[in-house]
Amino acid sequence: MKNYTVAVLGATGAVGQEMINILQERNFPVGKLVPLASTRSAGETLKFRGEDVTIQLACDEAFEGVDIVLGAAENDIAKQFAPAIVKAGAVFVDNSSAFRMDPDVPLIVPEVNAEDVKGHKGIISNPNCTTIITITAVNALNSIAPIRTMTASSYQAVSGAGAGGPIELMEEVEALRKGETYEPKVFSHQIAYNVIPQIGGEAFEGYTSEEMKMQNEGRKIMHVPELKVSCTCVRVPVVRSHSVSVSCHFDVPVTVEQAREVIAKAPGCKLVDDLAKKEYPMPLDTSGQDIVYVGRIRPDLTDDKGLCLWCCGDQVRKGAATNAIQIAELLIK
Protein backbone atom coordinates (compact mmCIF):
# COMPACT_ATOMS: atom_id res chain seq x y z
CA MET A 1 0.00 0.00 0.00
CA LYS A 2 1.22 3.47 -0.84
CA ASN A 3 2.20 5.71 2.05
CA TYR A 4 1.25 9.38 2.09
CA THR A 5 2.77 12.57 3.41
CA VAL A 6 0.08 14.08 5.60
CA ALA A 7 0.18 17.57 7.09
CA VAL A 8 -2.03 18.71 9.96
CA LEU A 9 -2.59 22.47 9.89
CA GLY A 10 -3.28 23.53 13.47
CA ALA A 11 -1.70 20.42 14.92
CA THR A 12 -1.57 21.66 18.52
CA GLY A 13 -5.28 22.50 18.88
CA ALA A 14 -7.91 20.11 20.24
CA VAL A 15 -9.10 18.99 16.79
CA GLY A 16 -5.58 18.81 15.38
CA GLN A 17 -4.43 16.61 18.25
CA GLU A 18 -7.48 14.40 17.79
CA MET A 19 -6.72 14.09 14.07
CA ILE A 20 -3.23 12.85 14.87
CA ASN A 21 -4.61 10.34 17.38
CA ILE A 22 -7.17 9.04 14.88
CA LEU A 23 -4.59 8.71 12.10
CA GLN A 24 -2.87 6.26 14.43
CA GLU A 25 -6.07 4.54 15.56
CA ARG A 26 -7.30 3.92 12.00
CA ASN A 27 -3.83 2.97 10.77
CA PHE A 28 -3.95 5.55 8.00
CA PRO A 29 -0.99 4.96 5.65
CA VAL A 30 1.10 7.92 6.77
CA GLY A 31 4.63 7.75 5.44
CA LYS A 32 5.49 11.13 6.90
CA LEU A 33 3.54 13.35 9.30
CA VAL A 34 4.02 17.12 9.01
CA PRO A 35 2.48 18.88 12.02
CA LEU A 36 2.08 22.61 11.37
CA ALA A 37 1.40 25.41 13.83
CA SER A 38 2.20 29.03 14.63
CA THR A 39 5.53 30.42 15.82
CA ARG A 40 4.38 29.80 19.39
CA SER A 41 4.57 26.00 18.93
CA ALA A 42 7.00 25.57 16.05
CA GLY A 43 10.10 23.66 17.13
CA GLU A 44 8.31 21.67 19.83
CA THR A 45 7.69 17.95 19.40
CA LEU A 46 4.70 15.64 19.61
CA LYS A 47 4.38 11.87 19.60
CA PHE A 48 3.26 9.95 16.53
CA ARG A 49 3.47 6.16 16.49
CA GLY A 50 5.83 6.28 19.43
CA GLU A 51 8.30 8.69 17.87
CA ASP A 52 8.95 12.40 18.39
CA VAL A 53 7.91 14.55 15.42
CA THR A 54 8.94 18.20 15.26
CA ILE A 55 6.19 20.77 14.79
CA GLN A 56 6.95 23.00 11.83
CA LEU A 57 5.97 26.60 11.19
CA ALA A 58 2.88 26.93 9.02
CA CYS A 59 4.02 28.74 5.87
CA ASP A 60 3.49 28.39 2.12
CA GLU A 61 6.69 26.41 1.66
CA ALA A 62 5.66 23.81 4.26
CA PHE A 63 3.18 22.18 1.86
CA GLU A 64 5.72 21.21 -0.79
CA GLY A 65 5.72 17.43 -1.21
CA VAL A 66 2.59 16.96 0.92
CA ASP A 67 -0.21 14.72 -0.39
CA ILE A 68 -3.05 15.54 2.03
CA VAL A 69 -3.51 18.49 4.40
CA LEU A 70 -5.93 18.06 7.29
CA GLY A 71 -7.11 21.51 8.33
CA ALA A 72 -7.78 22.12 12.03
CA ALA A 73 -7.29 25.89 12.04
CA GLU A 74 -9.59 28.91 12.02
CA ASN A 75 -11.21 30.35 8.90
CA ASP A 76 -8.62 33.05 8.32
CA ILE A 77 -5.75 30.55 8.50
CA ALA A 78 -7.54 28.17 6.14
CA LYS A 79 -8.13 30.96 3.63
CA GLN A 80 -4.55 32.17 3.96
CA PHE A 81 -2.96 28.83 3.13
CA ALA A 82 -5.50 27.23 0.77
CA PRO A 83 -3.90 28.68 -2.41
CA ALA A 84 -0.45 27.40 -1.44
CA ILE A 85 -1.85 23.95 -0.57
CA VAL A 86 -3.62 23.60 -3.92
CA LYS A 87 -0.61 24.98 -5.80
CA ALA A 88 1.61 22.38 -4.12
CA GLY A 89 -0.66 19.64 -5.48
CA ALA A 90 -2.00 18.54 -2.11
CA VAL A 91 -5.68 18.00 -1.27
CA PHE A 92 -6.93 20.22 1.55
CA VAL A 93 -9.52 18.56 3.82
CA ASP A 94 -10.59 21.58 5.84
CA ASN A 95 -12.50 21.55 9.13
CA SER A 96 -13.16 25.31 9.18
CA SER A 97 -16.28 26.90 7.70
CA ALA A 98 -14.27 28.93 5.18
CA PHE A 99 -15.24 26.94 2.07
CA ARG A 100 -18.31 24.97 3.09
CA MET A 101 -20.80 26.86 0.96
CA ASP A 102 -18.48 27.36 -2.01
CA PRO A 103 -20.20 25.60 -4.95
CA ASP A 104 -16.83 24.33 -6.19
CA VAL A 105 -15.95 22.69 -2.87
CA PRO A 106 -17.55 19.35 -1.90
CA LEU A 107 -19.04 19.24 1.62
CA ILE A 108 -18.78 15.65 2.77
CA VAL A 109 -20.22 13.28 5.34
CA PRO A 110 -18.79 9.98 4.06
CA GLU A 111 -21.79 7.91 5.17
CA VAL A 112 -24.10 10.25 3.22
CA ASN A 113 -22.47 11.69 0.07
CA ALA A 114 -19.12 9.98 -0.44
CA GLU A 115 -19.47 10.21 -4.24
CA ASP A 116 -19.22 14.01 -4.06
CA VAL A 117 -15.52 13.68 -3.21
CA LYS A 118 -14.83 12.99 -6.89
CA GLY A 119 -15.76 16.59 -7.77
CA HIS A 120 -13.06 18.23 -5.67
CA LYS A 121 -10.65 20.79 -7.12
CA GLY A 122 -8.07 20.56 -4.37
CA ILE A 123 -10.28 21.52 -1.42
CA ILE A 124 -12.88 19.44 0.45
CA SER A 125 -14.84 20.80 3.40
CA ASN A 126 -15.80 19.12 6.64
CA PRO A 127 -19.29 20.21 7.72
CA ASN A 128 -20.23 21.78 11.03
CA CYS A 129 -20.09 19.30 13.91
CA THR A 130 -23.80 19.50 14.77
CA THR A 131 -24.72 19.17 11.11
CA ILE A 132 -22.57 16.03 10.75
CA ILE A 133 -24.18 14.37 13.78
CA THR A 134 -27.72 15.28 12.73
CA ILE A 135 -27.41 14.43 9.03
CA THR A 136 -25.76 11.10 9.85
CA ALA A 137 -28.78 10.32 12.06
CA VAL A 138 -31.53 11.33 9.62
CA ASN A 139 -30.06 10.47 6.22
CA ALA A 140 -31.46 6.95 6.23
CA LEU A 141 -34.94 8.44 6.65
CA ASN A 142 -34.32 10.80 3.75
CA SER A 143 -33.49 7.79 1.58
CA ILE A 144 -36.97 6.27 2.03
CA ALA A 145 -38.98 9.51 2.05
CA PRO A 146 -37.47 12.90 1.19
CA ILE A 147 -37.33 15.24 4.19
CA ARG A 148 -39.02 18.54 3.36
CA THR A 149 -38.53 20.33 6.70
CA MET A 150 -36.79 19.77 10.02
CA THR A 151 -37.16 21.39 13.42
CA ALA A 152 -34.10 20.88 15.57
CA SER A 153 -32.72 21.90 18.95
CA SER A 154 -29.08 21.18 19.74
CA TYR A 155 -27.60 20.70 23.20
CA GLN A 156 -23.93 21.45 22.59
CA ALA A 157 -21.09 20.51 24.92
CA VAL A 158 -18.71 23.14 26.26
CA SER A 159 -15.75 21.50 24.50
CA GLY A 160 -17.35 22.63 21.25
CA ALA A 161 -16.10 26.11 22.15
CA GLY A 162 -12.50 24.90 22.34
CA ALA A 163 -10.17 23.70 25.07
CA GLY A 164 -11.12 26.63 27.30
CA GLY A 165 -14.78 25.57 27.49
CA PRO A 166 -14.40 22.62 29.88
CA ILE A 167 -11.85 24.53 31.95
CA GLU A 168 -14.29 27.41 32.43
CA LEU A 169 -17.12 25.04 33.38
CA MET A 170 -15.00 23.27 36.00
CA GLU A 171 -13.61 26.50 37.41
CA GLU A 172 -17.09 27.99 37.69
CA VAL A 173 -18.39 24.92 39.50
CA GLU A 174 -15.48 25.07 41.94
CA ALA A 175 -15.87 28.82 42.49
CA LEU A 176 -19.58 28.48 43.16
CA ARG A 177 -18.95 25.61 45.56
CA LYS A 178 -16.70 27.93 47.55
CA GLY A 179 -19.15 30.80 47.38
CA GLU A 180 -16.80 32.82 45.17
CA THR A 181 -17.57 34.83 42.05
CA TYR A 182 -16.24 33.92 38.61
CA GLU A 183 -16.09 36.18 35.60
CA PRO A 184 -16.85 34.20 32.38
CA LYS A 185 -14.23 34.50 29.66
CA VAL A 186 -15.12 31.83 27.10
CA PHE A 187 -18.91 32.13 27.28
CA SER A 188 -21.10 35.22 27.39
CA HIS A 189 -22.77 34.06 30.63
CA GLN A 190 -22.15 31.59 33.45
CA ILE A 191 -22.40 28.08 31.98
CA ALA A 192 -22.30 26.12 35.25
CA TYR A 193 -25.87 25.12 36.23
CA ASN A 194 -27.13 27.10 33.24
CA VAL A 195 -27.85 26.84 29.51
CA ILE A 196 -27.07 29.57 26.98
CA PRO A 197 -29.46 29.69 23.98
CA GLN A 198 -27.01 31.40 21.62
CA ILE A 199 -24.07 29.98 19.67
CA GLY A 200 -22.73 32.35 17.04
CA GLY A 201 -23.88 35.82 16.06
CA GLU A 202 -27.16 36.74 14.40
CA ALA A 203 -27.23 35.62 10.78
CA PHE A 204 -30.85 35.66 9.56
CA GLU A 205 -34.17 36.77 11.07
CA GLY A 206 -32.96 36.24 14.64
CA TYR A 207 -31.30 32.89 13.87
CA THR A 208 -27.61 32.60 14.69
CA SER A 209 -24.84 31.59 12.30
CA GLU A 210 -24.62 28.19 14.03
CA GLU A 211 -28.35 27.63 13.60
CA MET A 212 -28.38 28.42 9.89
CA LYS A 213 -25.63 25.87 9.20
CA MET A 214 -28.05 23.00 9.75
CA GLN A 215 -30.24 24.18 6.86
CA ASN A 216 -27.60 25.49 4.48
CA GLU A 217 -25.12 22.63 4.91
CA GLY A 218 -27.86 20.00 5.13
CA ARG A 219 -29.18 21.05 1.72
CA LYS A 220 -25.77 20.62 0.13
CA ILE A 221 -24.86 17.32 1.80
CA MET A 222 -28.17 15.51 1.22
CA HIS A 223 -28.81 17.13 -2.18
CA VAL A 224 -32.14 18.52 -0.97
CA PRO A 225 -31.97 22.15 -2.17
CA GLU A 226 -35.44 23.03 -0.89
CA LEU A 227 -34.90 21.72 2.65
CA LYS A 228 -36.07 24.13 5.33
CA VAL A 229 -34.79 23.90 8.91
CA SER A 230 -35.72 25.83 12.03
CA CYS A 231 -32.93 25.27 14.54
CA THR A 232 -32.14 26.46 18.06
CA CYS A 233 -28.56 25.89 19.25
CA VAL A 234 -27.98 25.81 23.00
CA ARG A 235 -24.75 25.55 24.98
CA VAL A 236 -25.19 23.17 27.92
CA PRO A 237 -22.92 22.28 30.88
CA VAL A 238 -21.82 18.96 29.37
CA VAL A 239 -18.11 18.40 28.73
CA ARG A 240 -18.22 16.37 25.51
CA SER A 241 -20.67 15.11 22.85
CA HIS A 242 -23.46 17.12 21.27
CA SER A 243 -27.10 16.04 21.47
CA VAL A 244 -29.82 17.03 19.01
CA SER A 245 -33.60 16.78 19.17
CA VAL A 246 -34.99 16.56 15.63
CA SER A 247 -38.47 16.54 14.10
CA CYS A 248 -38.44 15.46 10.44
CA HIS A 249 -41.39 16.17 8.17
CA PHE A 250 -41.90 14.16 4.97
CA ASP A 251 -44.11 14.24 1.90
CA VAL A 252 -45.45 10.80 2.83
CA PRO A 253 -45.87 9.13 6.23
CA VAL A 254 -42.96 7.15 7.66
CA THR A 255 -43.74 4.76 10.49
CA VAL A 256 -41.70 4.40 13.65
CA GLU A 257 -41.01 0.78 12.69
CA GLN A 258 -39.68 1.81 9.27
CA ALA A 259 -37.48 4.45 10.86
CA ARG A 260 -36.02 2.06 13.42
CA GLU A 261 -35.30 -0.54 10.75
CA VAL A 262 -33.40 1.78 8.40
CA ILE A 263 -31.53 3.63 11.16
CA ALA A 264 -30.41 0.34 12.72
CA LYS A 265 -28.79 -0.56 9.37
CA ALA A 266 -27.49 2.93 8.52
CA PRO A 267 -23.71 3.37 8.33
CA GLY A 268 -22.32 5.39 11.20
CA CYS A 269 -25.45 4.94 13.33
CA LYS A 270 -26.41 2.84 16.33
CA LEU A 271 -30.05 2.44 17.30
CA VAL A 272 -30.47 2.90 21.06
CA ASP A 273 -34.20 3.13 21.56
CA ASP A 274 -35.98 1.39 24.41
CA LEU A 275 -37.85 3.81 26.64
CA ALA A 276 -39.12 1.07 28.97
CA LYS A 277 -35.55 0.02 29.71
CA LYS A 278 -34.39 3.65 29.90
CA GLU A 279 -32.11 3.12 26.91
CA TYR A 280 -31.50 6.18 24.73
CA PRO A 281 -28.53 8.16 23.41
CA MET A 282 -26.62 10.17 26.00
CA PRO A 283 -23.42 12.24 25.82
CA LEU A 284 -21.60 10.07 28.35
CA ASP A 285 -22.11 6.99 26.20
CA THR A 286 -21.16 8.58 22.89
CA SER A 287 -17.98 10.38 23.97
CA GLY A 288 -14.66 9.03 22.79
CA GLN A 289 -15.99 7.07 19.80
CA ASP A 290 -17.25 7.71 16.25
CA ILE A 291 -20.80 6.35 16.02
CA VAL A 292 -23.92 8.54 16.18
CA TYR A 293 -26.46 7.05 18.58
CA VAL A 294 -30.13 7.49 17.60
CA GLY A 295 -33.22 6.88 19.71
CA ARG A 296 -36.47 8.25 21.16
CA ILE A 297 -38.05 7.67 17.72
CA ARG A 298 -41.74 8.49 17.90
CA PRO A 299 -44.53 10.08 15.86
CA ASP A 300 -44.69 13.85 15.65
CA LEU A 301 -48.07 14.60 17.23
CA THR A 302 -48.33 17.88 15.28
CA ASP A 303 -47.83 16.30 11.84
CA ASP A 304 -49.09 12.91 10.63
CA LYS A 305 -46.18 12.86 8.16
CA GLY A 306 -43.57 13.62 10.80
CA LEU A 307 -41.24 11.77 13.16
CA CYS A 308 -39.26 12.92 16.19
CA LEU A 309 -35.91 11.51 17.28
CA TRP A 310 -32.96 12.22 19.56
CA CYS A 311 -29.32 11.70 18.61
CA CYS A 312 -25.90 12.12 20.21
CA GLY A 313 -22.37 12.10 18.86
CA ASP A 314 -18.85 13.09 19.84
CA GLN A 315 -18.38 16.48 18.20
CA VAL A 316 -14.58 16.43 18.42
CA ARG A 317 -14.31 13.00 16.78
CA LYS A 318 -17.18 12.25 14.35
CA GLY A 319 -18.17 15.91 14.33
CA ALA A 320 -14.68 17.02 13.26
CA ALA A 321 -11.48 14.94 13.31
CA THR A 322 -12.77 11.50 12.39
CA ASN A 323 -15.01 12.80 9.62
CA ALA A 324 -12.01 14.58 8.07
CA ILE A 325 -9.90 11.42 8.15
CA GLN A 326 -12.77 9.39 6.70
CA ILE A 327 -12.73 11.89 3.81
CA ALA A 328 -8.99 11.35 3.43
CA GLU A 329 -9.66 7.59 3.34
CA LEU A 330 -12.09 8.14 0.48
CA LEU A 331 -9.39 10.06 -1.37
CA ILE A 332 -6.80 7.28 -1.18
CA LYS A 333 -9.29 4.70 -2.42
Q: Which residue of the set 120, 231, 242, 249 is catalytic?
A: 242
Environment class of 198 (CB within 10 Å of its CB; exposed 0-12, middle 13-18, buried 19+): middle
Environment class of 322 (CB within 10 Å of its CB; exposed 0-12, middle 13-18, buried 19+): buried
DSSP 170-220: HHHHHHHHTT-----SSSSS--TT--B---S-EEETTEEHHHHHHHHHHHH
Q: Is 242 a catalytic residue?
A: yes
Environment class of 86 (CB within 10 Å of its CB; exposed 0-12, middle 13-18, buried 19+): middle
Q: Which residue of the set 129, 248, 269, 312 is catalytic?
A: 129
The set of residues, in sequence order, having a beta carbon less than 8 Å from that of 301 and lying 6+ positions away, is none
Please tell me the distance from the alpha carbon of residue 100 to that of residue 296, in angstroms, as a whole number: 31
Catalytically annotated residues: 129, 242
